Amino acid sequence: MSRFTRHRAGAAGAAAVLVAVAAASAYTAATAASASAGDPPDPVVARAAAAAPSMLFVQNARAGTFEPIARRRGLARLTLRDVDPHTVYFSDRPRRLTGTTATATVLDGLFGPGRGAPPNAVIELSGGDADADTIAVELTRPRYDVKRATLSYVVRGLKDTALDGRRLATARERLDDRLPRRFGAVSLFVDDADWGNTCTVNVTNAAQSGIHISSTSKWGTDHWDGGDPNGKQWLPGKTQGWKTGGGFSRGCSNSATITTWDGATINVSTTDPYSGSNSYTCDVTQAPGNGYGRYSCTLGPGSTTKGPVILINWTVTQEVAP
């Protein structure tokens, strides 16, 4: 399920959104031009990009501060004041998703439990000094007070090479080494990081013979990360896995039917809704006459069953008939 909500803006709000989207689109257009002029894209990366749109988020505020943190080398606190309660988002072609969603929802999606590496961002001041108005940072530890309209992050400065291959790479030419401690209007361009839920499944074959996947399914909004596993085969002692991602602000769900050589079927299903409880099952239908022994599933070590990024490890065993 999705917590994404569209909001209607008044004339002033709509103008702000248009300005932010136009500015963010400049990053996208330049990045696309740069990529097309270079080497051919990696086909795996291209497939993933086509399946799950890359997102850029833009947070706007009327003022802010940038204060180094004492005794924490390289760290500073970025505070945005009179920050817009809605964050602008947009994606690349072909989907071209654009709109706004609650800033609190964006923060939950980017920094919730189980997320991967912290997102990178570019801080850009409006009307600042040319040599101190744009820097690249890594964002961590957000604090948001919707009533006071303040949003702060603990940030770590990034070298320009940290943006290579990312949506914000075209900002490299304009990056500075510093920002003033206090400033006026500011925009924070946040590169898309882990967003939306992911469902990963690994199955270890501890039975006496080979098994294979005979059918698969997923939610229509999911994409297979690494390809549809239908048809995969694996021998005893081996492990196979698969993964789906829900994409922007969505949950995920996938299932696979595994067939044993003597006719038993094992249905593995995994669901991680954007809100609500996760579910994961491994149900066995024994072979006619129990075949050459009864099969069972056991939840293995290393599984992560909670949060938006779940990893389910199953072990299939076989009790061999005497």
Q: What share of the chain is helix, strand, coil (3-state, %, to 5)?
A: 20, 45, 40
**Is the bond preceding residue 94 a cis peptide, omega within 30 degrees?**
yes
Q: Which candidate, 296, 285, 224, places its Cα nearest to that of 254?
A: 224
161-207 per-position pLDDT tens digit: 555 545 566 566 678 888 999 999 999 999 865 566 889 999 999 99
243-295 per-position pLDDT tens digit: 998 876 678 999 999 999 999 999 999 999 977 899 999 999 999 887 788 99
Q: Which amino acid is at 68?
A: P
In the three-class reduction of DSSP (H, G, I as helix; E, B as strand; rest coil), residue 15 is classed as helix
Task: Report residue 48's pLDDT band, with 50, 70 and 90 as the boundaries.
Answer: very low
Question: What is the helix (H) or strand (E) element at residue 233, kind and residue range?
Answer: strand 233-234
Q: What is the dihedral sign for C-alpha 250, 200, 220, 282?
A: negative
116-140 per-position pLDDT tens digit: 678 889 999 998 888 888 999 999 9
230 exposure class (CB count in 10 Å sphere: 0-12, 13-18, 19+): middle
The pLDDT of residue 17 is above 90 = no
Strands 239-245 and 198-206, sheet pairing:
antiparallel
| Pair 241, 277: CB distance under 8 Å | no
Q: Which candidate, 221, 231, 211, places its Cα nearest to that of 254?
A: 221
Domains of the chain: 11-191 (no CATH), 198-320 (2.60.270.50)
In the three-class reduction of DSSP (H, G, I as helix; E, B as strand; rest coil), residue 141 is classed as strand
The reply to whether the predicted model has a pTM over 0.85 is no
Dist CA 58 CA 22 (whole Å): 11
